[in-house]
Structure 1
Amino acid sequence: MTYIKKSALFVSGSFFFAAQAFAGAPNFIDSRAMAMGGVGVASARPAAAGFFNPALLAVKQPEKRDGFGMLLPSVNAIASDEAELRDVVDDFDDDFIKPFEGAITDVENNIAGGGAGLAAAQTELANRTRALNNELQKIDQEQARVDLGMGVSALIPSQRFGAGLFVSGSARIAAKINYNDQTTLDQLEDLARNTVITDIDDVNALYDTANDADQLQSTVRAVGSAYSQVGLSMSHNFTFFGHDYALGVSPKMVDLRAYDFVTSVDEFESDDLEDTKVSESKFNLDLGVASFLDDDEQLLVGLSVINVVPMEITTKPGRDNTNLGPGFAPEGIDIELKPKVLAGISYQGASYELAADLELTKTEEV
């Protein structure tokens, strides 16, 4: 089989944390559509019509596709973490912070003990400081993202009137590193490498192991969005000037949620996200139309509007209060659910299917 997908339809590209619009969790797509590159406006099987184009329930499909259909359930997951950011953050404390702070303690002990091993302790501190600094520079602005989706449906297509129920949920979580410690760590390395330290307060002025507020200022920000829907799809076939058309509508309830948490790079725990939830539920609507262009009923075109009613919520960033400073207050991020207009075409051959979808509305990713 050959499938063609035009435009990034559901799973979107880059993610930057700013007080601007952010396209939230992607629409759920079933496993068959995912294998086809995400197309479905004119090519989805009837069991998945509620997720792409409700009109497909009543379009005059071939007999092999005209029967009761179910998804129980369909699950998908997509991850993007080229820098292996999650592993780096999870292991950051053991791999970099503890050896670095241990080197500071060794310098302090050598000063208190007369300084016999001070030169070696300072060299170790300089090396550990450089390793920490290099790692933070390496992961600065790096991002990781995971998209998850699950859907269930039970639909009865018909050559005249089709109907059915569908439920789906999708979620996206993304994390980004913001590096803010280069000047401090450069000064500390210079101090340890080029000066004989006789007073540990000189080190503490740059990094104090006993005071959270005087430690790392680099941060991890994690933002999550979740989109769920439950709806009823209905479609009717009618003839207009001798040509058959199918019109479909899916009234549904939609729930949109957002999560946002900021903390120091060595303190991040994904469980902290749950406490920052912001949510809104609203009635919404999908619309669709589909029709064959040829008498052999092989070339099908479709048009759908997903989420006719726009929704928007703004995150309320939670934060770790220990060492980010009292004035640190990141702006919330707008999570938007905009109407999406999609056009599709498919050609069903004897042993293959060609399909392409085109998004007609602009999708902003910032």
Structure 2
Amino acid sequence: MALSHDAVVRLTTLGWALLLCLFALSAPLLWAASPLLLAGVILVGALLGLSIHAARRLPRRDGRSSGRTHACLIGAGLLTCLVAAPVWWLVLQPALHPLAVPRVTLSDGRRQVVFQGMVHVASEQFYRSVAYDLLRAKDAGYVLFFEGVQPGTPEADAWLDAATQSSGDLNAQYARIGQVCGLSFQGDFLAFVQRDEALDPAHLVTADVSVTEMYEEWQRLVAADPALAETLPAGDGHGDGMFDMSSLLQVAAGLKDSQKDLLAAACKGVFSVVLGRAESPDALNRVILDFRNRRLAERIAGSADADIYITYGSAHFPGLFRELQAQDPAWRIVGTAWTTAILPPDDAVGRLRLAPP
């Protein structure tokens, strides 16, 4: 059934209003990225709209200028919305799908082990909360176990750089990523707790392995299964193209303030999406996760009379729990709490409205 003239007018008006609203939401985002980007998208969209209009009208050759104008406006508006949509999707991810990390309390019936899941880069508020909990746990008599792979021999360090495609100091790179993304690096907030490790080694323990131990474990695995050696990426660990992480960080450092703000918002979305996924299968995880989990479980077993508070990457918990239960089936989860790792900034600035004297 054909629509009436009034219905067509209403639908057309609604369509234009919707397009205008979407364009008003999308255009500022592209403008913040670059005014030239916005101008280019509008121009390309207008040309696409005009081309489609011309192709549809070719047999009729009526040449109405209003039709061409409408086609240009529709094409420019739609393409602007389409280009901005993925960015908006990323920007909204921390609110729509917050990255939650667990704090799990375990018990074997005699003592407690608290596992605080961590991420290398997160919001400042998250790290403040964890640091506060660590101090409370220490005052309560818990032994604090920290994550932190220790340096190894030059050969082992070179192997890890190549295996992870990193370029040297991973902690320094995490700190730079945090700065670009408007986030913080965990080492900047937990270091003040760890700095007293030499003064109180009984309660402050870096419970991780060294790079040399990881390298030796990898060699043992390769000796048992030579095919594993082919799973590591080729190269020297310094990147093989212009878009390696170091180059991207250098480009980001030279952006304008509005561009940095947009990049930081999108970057938070990327972290929420990527870190929220399950750990993907990777042969290197047999060393980075499985081997370190076994050693951590051995450390816990070696401190049989102590309550322990652990700060380790969240991905370690499933494997660690399996290792603990393999040693002693009495281990059970007795409590779980969740914390959002990526939050809006807390540096808002307002204005005091005071009455004149």
Q: Which has the higher contact order (CA 8 A, sep 6+)?
A: 2
Provide TM-score, normalisation by structure 1: 0.22
Provide TM-score, normalisation by structure 2: 0.23
Higher relative strand content: 1
